Amino acid sequence: MLLIPILLLSFFISTPINASAETDLGLNVDAAILIDADTGKILYEQNADAALGIASMTKMMTEYILLDAIDAGTITWDQEYRVTDYTYKMSQNRALSNVPLRADGTYTIRELYEAMAIYSANAATAGIAETIAGTETEFLKLMNKKAEELGLENYKFVNSTGLNNADLNGMQPAGTGPEDENVMSATDVAKLAYHLLKDHPEVLETSSIPKKTFREGTEDAIEMENWNWMLPGLVFEYEGVDGLKTGTTNFAGSCFTGTAERNGTRLIAVVMNAVNEYGIDPVKKARFDAAKQLFDYGFGQFSKQEIVPANYVFEEQKSIPVTKGKEDQVSIGVKDPISIVVKSSEKDLYKPKLILETETLEAAVEEGTVVGKVVIERTEGTDYGYIDGKDFSADVVTTEPVERAGWFSLFFQAIGNFFASIWNGITSFVMGFFS
């Protein structure tokens, strides 16, 4: 009769209680991640490394490659695209997100880009891919090259749009299956969005447009309402949201990469296959509910905190040795301050760690010489790190100059070092002999 109480007592004694249990937001999603858009600091993640369907969130990669081409001057905004049989047939499928294209029509790249970024128009996206690379098959090579440059790890691209290949009228890119679909992990989607905003912040000028008329003033005019319903004036408006991309297919479910800025802090949230309490999302509301939870958590509990002030000095290492100098030590300190986004209640859990890259310097030494770096470590609990997998660091430098000693001083330094080495050798020999 005493066996069960004894076993329970043993369990509670031997199993430590984690006082800082990981946060669980209870999101009804297959995967999610929240990051600080400035530093890439990961604030929350849930099954973030699983490769899942991404649907039209794919178009962020197409936007990235297009904006690269615009910057390089290989593509221009007023350049005209002539509709192909492939894009014409795709554009006539109104069950997909599309602006209808005329079989004999021409459209500027800006028109196609706005249709893609605002209305997630699929044929317009394929037209951009054809303009840049000639064919969508060749465009896939550019997508994979960019993915490699960004350090994406869990992904597979089979087209430029995010559609299932079954929707491409049998004209899917060569080497891909007839029912293949793009997949990425939430981590990689966030990394793609992070670099897109870093390299092309102008993408927000278009992604933030709630509504716009395609080919306004012509008989082809069509009203485009942004599928990002968290934008100002739309049904699930959320303060600060100005991007970035939704996605929906049967395979991927209801997905969203959102970004919002408040009080100088910008966050990026990714949710994949969001569902409501009934396991469905008939009006695509669940993805915005999940994004709202992430944004509320980020803006409500996190803030930018200065962990290391400028000119910070490590008590355990205030200087390093200098040889051949007028001084035999030089002071060191942190050059620039480090501020990171952390939970306001957990600031004291983050401490600076010194990593020296040199143990000594030879004079002359200039002020500001880099001797190492400082990184921030969390002393307890889990730190999710950064989206690029890198430490957020600052240089540790010399805070004063040290002049090189004159030849006379160097001569006596050399003599002193010579006799010191002899004495150390004798001392070591004697201690070894009598030990």
Asked if residues 118 and 234 have their Cβ atoms less than 8 Å apart, the reply is: no
Which one, of 39, 7, 91, lies nearest residue 383 by Cα?
A: 39
Residue among 41, 56, 97, 191 flagged as catalytic: 56
Residue in this structure with the two tokens 């355990």, named with its chain if needed: 316
Which residue is associated with the tokens 């069509």?
A: 222
What are the Cα distances from residue 393, in Å, to 184, 308, 375?
29, 10, 5
The DSSP line for 44-88 is: EEESTTS-EE-GGGGHHHHHHHHHHHHHHTSS-TT-EEEPPHHHH
Half-sphere exposure of 56 (CA within 13 A, CB side): 26
Orientation of helix 59-72 relative to helix 136-150, angle to 10°: 90
Catalytic residue among 91, 97, 120, 254: 120
- Give the full edge-to-edge strand order of the sheet including 370-378: 350-356, 370-378, 393-398, 329-334, 319-323, 361-362
Q: Which of 59, 146, 191, 335 is catalytic?
A: 59
Strand, helix or coil for residue 307: strand
Annotated active-site residue 14? The verdict is no
Smallest Cα–Cα separation from 155: which of 61, 245, 44?
A: 61
| Amino acid at the residue 99 | V
Which residue, 371, 362, 306, is CA-closest to 335?
371
Which positions ≥6 away from 330 have C-beta within 8 Å? 319, 320, 322, 361, 365, 398, 399, 400, 402
CA distances from 197 to 140, 188, 242, 244, 434 (A): 22, 14, 12, 10, 69
**d(Cα 258, Cα 241) in Å, to the nearest integer?**
7
CB 118 within 8 A of CB 209: yes
d(CA 271, CA 292): 10
160 assigned to active site:
no
For residue 59, indicate whether it is catalytic: yes
Q: Which amino acid is at 248?
A: T
Catalytic site positions: 56, 59, 120
